[in-house]
Chain A
Amino acid sequence: MSAAATPVARRRPRVGRLNNLLVIVLVLIAAYVIIAIPSGDQAQQQFVNAVTIGAIYALIALGYTMVYGIIELINFAHGEIFMCGSFVSWWLLTTLGFSGAISDPILLIGVLILAFAVSMVVMGIVGVVIERLAYRRLRNAPRLAPLITAIGVSFILQNIVFVVVSNSIVTTPQIIPNTQLALGPISINLINLFVIVLAVGLMVALQLFIGRTRLGRAMRSTAIDRDAAQLMGVDINTTIALTFFIGSALAGAAGVVQGLYFGITVFNIGFQAGLKAFTAAVLGGIGNTTGAALGGFVIGFLEVISSVWGQGRWSEAVVFGMLVLVLVFRPTGILGQQLADRA
């Protein structure tokens, strides 16, 4: 057993990572050029839009991918969690009496923290309750059963909002002032900067949580082998509930962003947003958190590119055409189907 001592690690060579970075930079430059050709002096604004929309899709896609990673369920109710999150934040902001931009920075920061905290916690709890009531007892049932249940849950959530709140588009307070900032050569609106920084921050935090912490290891081990995880002392029910909490909280955050950025929401907004985020998750390799984030940004760019080239008529067709192409030619996605894996 002592023979043939090989030196410690076989890590990924640094050159590989550099190459990846180079590829990302080249792709971004290409995207910028493609956006710039038809949009002229609007190019920079459109580029920022793409990143912003991509960040929203990425936040939603993470929930799809985490839940799939741990219980192999495509949680079709996840888009509705995003929708409900947008309504929680609408309710909170209007109840507090806000209708437009808040100019006092301290107050603005306080209200933002409150809105995100409330929406994320409420939607996290809703996600946990849904898992407990609708999915848990179907954990060992044939795959179609929880899938259909998820579609049912999605209708229930839509109808609750439809009946209890509103059956038409509601206007949400855009509390972040419309201010153009200059970051060196880049001119960016405060709201875009806020959304991008927030989303990237949440994604980095999630990645560190999954990769570096004890609970993150519990989640990964449960995703890989539920029985083996139990033999290590992992309570898989709690771990799966935690996964639903985190995924739903991220969708709740995306819901708040929806209101702040677009200024509107509606009871059926979760359907299409959810489907696009699902496309992002599949594109990145479902079950893979890094892939979901990447897929979100790809979808953001696809949507903006197709809208600047086709005046908006084609963006849905392009995004869902992409879903079909990926499912047919590379069903494991860009980064492969590595359940709840590390970057």
Chain B
Amino acid sequence: MTAAAGAPAPVDNPGGVPLLRAHDIHAYYGHIHALQGITLDVFPGEIVTLLGANGAGKTTTLRTISGLMHPRTGTITFDGTDITHVPAHRLVTRGVGHAPEGRRIFGRMTVLENLQMGAYTRHNKAELEMDFDRVFALFPRLRERSSQAGGTLSGGEQQMLAIGRALMTRPKLLLLDEPSMGLSPILVEQIFDVIRDIHAQGTTVLVVEQNALMALGVAHRGYILQTGRIVLGDTAANLRQNPEVQKAYLGG
């Protein structure tokens, strides 16, 4: 493990043009009004976390950003262009990488094939070589298991594969949906170390978590989501100090 030690450089006053801007997003499942006006920004070079209870709409927010579903109203801009109605498979080439909730690796394909799927839209051999090396450096376990079926990996290894696969798309923005879900405390630490490493290598990260303590430990800023609405958005340091956040999400 090559953990980048220490806290991330704080971005207290993020300025300039946001890499991602969601403006007043409303999204539905049939009649269920899952997102009721989400507005959030992610600036280049940030780690931003999205916190909230089960069913708050965190996964739905990420799915609307990565184009798996589309908002009924509101706009999403990424890297300066409107992507509100761009389908997921086109966003991959624009630089949105998404490691979805529940890992969703291709269980009957080998680890190597899963990573090759991440590289599906890419053709530059030299760059791909570098990215395979990068992923194998972050997750040496994946190299050892490269010819094994993804479905036979342990939970932690599957999460590594899901993140590695998303990295193979060479994203500008990496969306992570509950990467620590179901993992032992040691593995959770490792995953968050990896998030720091990925960020240190130049990728902007938006991470959804239930583990608010860990998430606020790596993030620069955070948003709190409640029943489809953003109720709070602040720097991670301020959120950690906020009594209501402490009460609701930090167990104190």
Residues of A near any B CB (own CB < 8 A): 1-2, 5-11, 214, 217-218, 220-221, 224-225, 227-236, 338-339, 341-342
A-B contact pairs, 9 of them (CB 8 A): A9-B148, A217-B120, A221-B117, A224-B108, A224-B109, A230-B89, A231-B92, A233-B90, A339-B108
CB-CB < 8 A to A221: which residues of B?
106, 109, 117
Interface residues of B (CB under 8 A from A): 1, 66-68, 87-90, 92-93, 97-98, 100, 104-109, 113, 116-118, 120-121, 139-141, 144-148, 152, 165-166, 169, 190
Known: A217-B120, A231-B66. 19 other contacts (CB 8 A): A1-B140, A2-B1, A2-B140, A8-B147, A10-B152, A220-B106, A220-B109, A221-B109, A224-B106, A227-B100, A231-B97, A231-B98, A231-B166, A232-B118, A232-B121, A233-B93, A233-B169, A339-B108, A342-B108
State whether A228 and B108 are in contact (beta carbons under 8 Å apart), knowing that A1-B139, A233-B169 are contacts in the complex: no
Report chain A residues within 8 Å CB of B106: 220-221, 224-225, 228
Write out the residue numbers on chain A whose beta carbons fall within 8 Å of the beta carbon of B169. Answer: 232-233
A217 to B118 CA separation, bound complex (whole angstroms)? 11
Partner of A232, one of B90, B92, B139, B140: B92
Nearest residue (CB) in A for B190 is A1
Q: Closest CB-CB distance, B152 to chain A, in whole Å? A: 8
Q: Assess the B120–A228 pair: CB atoms within 8 A.
A: no
Q: How far is the CB of B239 from chain A (nearest CB, A)?
A: 29
Tell me whether B141 and A232 are in contact (CB under 8 A).
Answer: no
- Of listed A214, A228, A232, residue having the most chain B CB within 10 A: A232
Option from A1, A10, A225 in Cβ contact (under 8 Å) with B141: A1
Q: Are A231 and B108 in contact (CB under 8 A)?
A: no
A217 touches B109 (CB 8 A): yes
Residues of A within 8 A of B140 (CB): 1-2
The 5 closest A-B pairs by CB, nearest first: A233-B92, A233-B121, A9-B147, A230-B88, A228-B104
In the complex the two chains form, what is the Cα distance from A2 to B165 in whole Å? 20
* Complex CA–CA separation, A1 to B100 (angstroms): 22
Pick the residue among B68, B166, B190 that contacts A230 (CB under 8 A): B68
**Complex contacts, A220 vs chain B, CB 8 Å:** 106, 108-109
Q: How far is the CA of A231 from the CA of B1 in the complex (A)?
A: 27
Known contacts A231-B92, A233-B89: A8-B1 contact under CB 8 Å: no
- Report yes or no: A6 in contact with B117, Cβ–Cβ below 8 A: no
Q: How far is the CB of A327 from chain B (nearest CB, A)?
A: 24
Q: A342 contacts which chain B residues (CB < 8 A)? A: 108
Say how far B26's CB is from chain A's closest CB, in angstroms: 21
Q: Are A224 and B107 in contact (CB under 8 A)?
A: yes
Inter-chain CA distance A218–B92, complex, in Å, is: 15
Tell me how far the C-beta of B7 lies from the nearest C-beta in chain A, rounded to whole angstroms.
Answer: 22
**Chain B residues within an 8 Å CB radius of A228:** 100, 104-106
Q: In the complex, which of the residues A214, A231, A236 has the most CB atoms of chain B within 10 Å of its own CB atom?
A: A231
A217 close to B116 (CB less than 8 A): yes
Query: Are A232 and B117 in contact (CB-based, < 8 A)?
Result: yes
Residues of B within 8 A of A338 (CB): 108
Q: How far is the CA of A231 from the CA of B67 in the complex (A)?
A: 9
For residue B108, which residue of chain A has the nearest CB? A341
Q: Which residues of A contact B107 (CB under 8 A)?
A: 224
Query: A217 touching B117 by the CB < 8 A rule?
Result: yes
Q: How many Å lie between the Cα of A342 and that of B113 in the bound state?
A: 12
Shortest CB distance B194–A (Å): 9
